[in-house]
C-alpha cells in the first residue's frame, strides 16, 4: 500500500533530511550538478554514508559519451538555451562530485553510466519515492511538479531485483513498482532480462 502527494518543486520534499535518515539510496537522473552545489545535500549524503548501518548508494547518470540521436534535444530539455559545451561542463561538475563521494566512502557508492534516454528523475529514499519529469521549456525539472510516493521501498527494490511485480489487486504498489523497476533496469539487475540500459559500471570503490 502506498500514499501519494504532489509537490510544487523538489524543495517541498525536504530531500536532505530524508537522505540523511536513509540506510539505502538510489538516484536515477541525467546529472547531479545541482546536488554538487547544494551544501545541505552534500552534508546529508555525508551523514548517511558515514553511518555504520548505511548499506549502499547507487547513482545512475546519463552517459554523455554515447552516440544518441536524441542527445542534443535532451540537452535542451535539461537546460534550455544553453550551449552544448556549457551543459557538458555541468556533466563534468556532476561527475567530479560523484567520483569524490565514491572515493570518500569506498564500498558504499556505486555509479553507473547509462546510454538510455532518461524518462524521469527518480529518487528512492528510505520510505518514499520522489519522481519528477522532463519537459521542453525554460523551467527545469527541480522546479516542476514532483510525485512523492510513500511506500515500502526496500520491499519494492527486492521485488524489482527478483523481477516479481506486485499483483493487479494492489494498484498503488504496482504503480510505484514501475518507478523502482526503472531504477533497477538502469543498472541491469533484473534476473534473466535484457540489459538495454547500463553501459558500464563507472565506479565500485
Domain CATH for 187: 3.30.870.10
Predicted pLDDT of residue 137: 87
What is the reported pLDDT for 84? 66
Domain that holds residue 190: 3-203
How far from 34 is each of 24, 78, 110, 122, 175, CA to CA, in Å? 21, 12, 19, 15, 28
How is residue 164 written as a grid cell?
Answer: 516479481
Taking the C-alpha atoms of residue 105 and residue 40, their distance in angstroms, rounded to an integer, is 18
Determine if residue 66 is left, alpha or beta; phi over 0 gives left, psi from -120 to 50 gives alpha, anything else beta: beta
- CB-based contact 79:90 (threshold 8 Å): yes
What is the predicted pLDDT for the residue at 197? 43
Whole-structure pTM value: 0.89
pLDDT at 196: 43
Question: Among 118, 120, 114, 117, which Cα is nearest to 65's?
Answer: 114
Residue pLDDT, tens place only, 100-125: 999 999 999 999 999 888 999 999 99
Query: How many domains in the chain?
Result: 1
Task: Dump pLDDT digits (tens) for 130-141.
Answer: 999 999 988 889
* Cα–Cα distance for residue pair 20/43, rounded to 1 Å: 8
205 residues of the chain, pLDDT tens digit each: 568 899 999 999 999 999 999 999 999 999 999 999 999 999 999 999 999 999 999 999 999 888 888 988 898 888 876 766 788 999 999 999 999 999 999 999 999 999 888 999 999 998 899 999 999 988 889 999 999 999 999 999 999 999 999 999 888 999 999 999 999 998 874 333 344 444 444 444 3
Amino acid at each position: 500500500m502506498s500514499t501519494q502527494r504532489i509537490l510544487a518543486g523538489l524543495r517541498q520534499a525536504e530531500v536532505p533530511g530524508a537522505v540523511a535518515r536513509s540506510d539505502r539510496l538510489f538516484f536515477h537522473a541525467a546529472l547531479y550538478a545541482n546536488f554538487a552545489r547544494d551544501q545541505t545535500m552534500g552534508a546529508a549524503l555525508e551523514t548517511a554514508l558515514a553511518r555504520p548501518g548505511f548499506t549502499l548508494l547507487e547513482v545512475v547518470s546519463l552517459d554523455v559519451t554515447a552516440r544518441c540521436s536524441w542527445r542534443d534535444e535532451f540537452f535542451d530539455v535539461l537546460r534550455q538555451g544553453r550551449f552544448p559545451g556549457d551543459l557538458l561542463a555541468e556533466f563534468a561538475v556532476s561527475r567530479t562530485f560523484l567520483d569524490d563521494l565514491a572515493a570518500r566512502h569506498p564500498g558504499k557508492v556505486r555509479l553507473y553510466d547509462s546510454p538510455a534516454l532518461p524518462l524521469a528523475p527518480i529518487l528512492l529514499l528510505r520510505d518514499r519515492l520522489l519522481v519528477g519529469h522532463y519537459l521542453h521549456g525554460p523551467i527545469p525539472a527541480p522546479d516542476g511538479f514532483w510525485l512523492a510516493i510513500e511506500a515500502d521501498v526496500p520491499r519494492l527494490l527486492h521485488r524489482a531485483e527478483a523481477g516479481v511485480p506486485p499483483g493487479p489487486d494492489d494498484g498503488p504498489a504496482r504503480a510505484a513498482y514501475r518507478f523502482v523497476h526503472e531504477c533497477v533496469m538502469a543498472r541491469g539487475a533484473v534476473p534473466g532480462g535484457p540489459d538495454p540500459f547500463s553501459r558500464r559500471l563507472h565506479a565500485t570503490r
